[in-house]
A and B are shown apart, each in its own frame.
Chain A
């Protein structure tokens, strides 16, 4: 059982389309991070959200932290092939100071 569930697991869209990726948990997190990972490389931090209801924008990417700090979403506007990658949400420290990564969403943007 994963503490952080992401949906969808796979997403293939055309360049220029919009998309939203979700990260859900039944647990409360003090903060959530979003990372993007390309094949064979380590995850790269995109953003950290810490306040319930917080919205952060990074160019065409919009991140939102749920009011109850149990979920988060990532919205990409006008997706580009360079957005292709594995998107991971992460939360912690949680019980026992552990850190958890979500199940991941593999995004492919077709030119």
Chain B
């Protein structure tokens, strides 16, 4: 158990819909990262928050957004869902946003868009 929790574990929805994925980092960790993992793209970095502020942005679509709240939990919002958004979404946390980032991953949310 990494100490990172994600809910829900599974999510099935239809195209055009909007969903919210939730992540609670390990106790004391200030950084939260979101990743998308699909069979053809591998693990893709989406976005990082550090202590409530956006720190880095990766291959995140404009239809996706995220935020980190004062209690450090984070949410990833996916809107206008398309079939291609079906993937595993992982959240990870680390102690700081500094040079060496040892990230601890949650169990993931499997999103299926029908």
A residues lining the B interface (CB < 8 Å):
2, 30-31, 33, 35, 40-45, 48, 50, 88, 90, 92-93, 96-104
Docked-complex contact A99 and B100, CB < 8 angstroms: no
Tell me the bound Cα distance from A103 to B90 in angstroms.
16
State the total of A-B contacts with C-beta under 8 angstroms.
Answer: 69
Docked-complex contact A42 and B55, CB < 8 angstroms: no
Task: Knowing that A97-B48, A99-B56, A101-B35 touch, tell me 9 more A-B residue pairs with CB under 8 angstroms.
Answer: A31-B101, A33-B103, A41-B108, A50-B100, A98-B56, A99-B48, A101-B42, A102-B42, A103-B42
Docked-complex contact B58 and A98, CB < 8 angstroms: yes
Docked-complex contact B2 and A42, CB < 8 angstroms: yes
B residues lining the A interface (CB < 8 Å):
2, 4, 33, 35, 42-45, 48, 55-58, 90, 92, 97, 99-108, 110
By a CB distance below 8 angstroms, the chain A residues around B57 are: 96, 98
Chief secondary structure at chain A's binding surface: loop
* CB closest chain-B residue, reference A47: B102
Chief secondary structure at chain B's binding surface: strand
Contact of B108 among A33, A40, A88, A101 (CB under 8 A): A40
By a CB distance below 8 angstroms, the chain B residues around A93 are: 56, 97, 99, 101
Contact of A101 among B4, B43, B97 (CB under 8 A): B43
